[in-house]
Amino acid sequence: MDKFSDYPTSLTAPARDAQTVVPNDATDLPVLPRALFVGQTGDVSARLAGGQSVLLQNVQAGSVLPIRTRGVNATGTTAAGIVALW
């Protein structure tokens, strides 16, 4: 039973869905996520929803990055175990 099923999903609500991210320099994610989970420490090169690109350095394992990103670049990304949350 889900007591919260009638509540709207907002950017501050817990994620309801997730998908493993395969970093790629050209392909966008199929869904614009609310956040990224990083499973293994490293750098994350992201293409943000607003059109900017950013290199987030030394992201620690277990971090949740509250960024809306169109995609994660293979070039520059050394972190692994990245999961998109929405």
Contact between 35 and 67 under an 8 Å Cβ cutoff? The reply is yes
Q: What is the C-alpha to C-alpha distance for residues 20 and 30, in angstroms, rounded to an integer?
A: 11
Which pTM does this prediction carry? 0.90
pLDDT per residue over 21-76, tens digit each? Answer: 999 999 999 999 999 999 999 999 999 999 999 999 999 999 999 999 999 999 99
Tell which residue, 28, 83, 86, has the closest CA to residue 53.
28
At residue 21, the 3 state secondary structure works out as coil
